[in-house]
Amino acid sequence: KDVQKEREPHVYLSKEEVKEKIQSYNSSVTDKLKMTLNANGIYTGFIKVQMELCRPITVQSSQSQGRSAPSNQETAFYLPDGCVNTLHISSTNTVREVIEALLKKFFVADNPAKFALYKRCHKEDQVYTCKLSDREHPLYLRLVAGPKTEMLSFVLREHETGEVMWEAFSIPELQNFLRILDKEENDQLQMLKNRYAAYRGKLEEALRGVLKPG
């Protein structure tokens, strides 16, 4: 079970310290996702973000019909649990910019303000999660923790608001949610009908066996 952990203070590193940490980081990388230090002191690298979304997301798609101009369409669906995405960012990118870039990469039309980025740390058989502020820099956290995701991983979730703020959703989003709920309701209803039809068949078969002349 995840437990909340106090946010650690940001420690500012000198250019030489950053260079040493990047060299150490790259020597430990096993997936070729290394960091690069630029002459201006800004460094770039990769982070992996696990998507843990409970509500459906709205995705924009552009489709052409015959020779007509492309028409924008939006589709809402549930993202598969445990989906992980890799993002190339710089040390200047903030959490808010990372969320926006991640949603843009996958054409997600939902408002970025609906989402929050968390860091997950493993220590002494415990899992600590901490919501990151919009001003924090994920690549710095990745550099300090090293490349092992067992030490630090990033998770994208919806904001924990207690109640869903439906007014933050657009009309097409709400309509898509209703369609999804209708489909789930119909699927569940069909499953119940099939289950009780099977029970009825077994009961009728048992009754025929009991009433069969002996």
DSSP-assigned letter for residue 211: H
Average the pLDDT over 5-20 and give the result.
Answer: 73
Say how far apart CA 26 and CA 123 lie, in whole Å: 23
Average the pLDDT over 51-64 and give the result.
Answer: 73
Bridge partners of residue 171, in order along the sequence: none
What's the confidence (pLDDT) of residue 119? Answer: 92
Tokens describing residue 99: 């969320």
HSE of 138, CA atoms in CB hemisphere, 13 A: 33
- % residues pLDDT > 70 (the chain): 82
pLDDT bucket at 10, cuts 50 / 70 / 90: low
What's the confidence (pLDDT) of residue 9? Answer: 55
pTM of this structure = 0.66
What's the confidence (pLDDT) of residue 156? Answer: 92
Bridge partners of residue 130, in order along the sequence: 119
Q: With a cut of 70, say whether residue 27 has pLDDT above it.
A: yes
Please give the backbone phi and psi of residue 72, each rounded to the nearest 5 degrees, phi first. -75, 135
pLDDT bucket at 88, cuts 50 / 70 / 90: very high
Q: Are 19 and 38 in contact (CB under 8 A)?
A: no
The per-residue pLDDT of the chain, averaged, comes to 81
Q: With a cut of 80, say whether residue 103 has pLDDT above it.
A: yes
Residue whose entry in the numeric block shows the structure tokens 């109640």:
163
- Residue type for 8, please? E
Q: Are 77 and 51 in contact (CB under 8 A)?
A: no
Tokens describing residue 96: 């808010």
Q: With a cut of 60, say whether residue 183 has pLDDT above it.
A: yes
Higher pLDDT, 9 or 34: 34
Closest CA to 175 of 79, 52, 58: 58
- In sequence order, the 6+-apart residues with CB closer than 8 A to the CB of 179 are 76
Average the pLDDT over 137-141 and give the result.
Answer: 94
Average the pLDDT over 69-82 and give the result.
Answer: 66
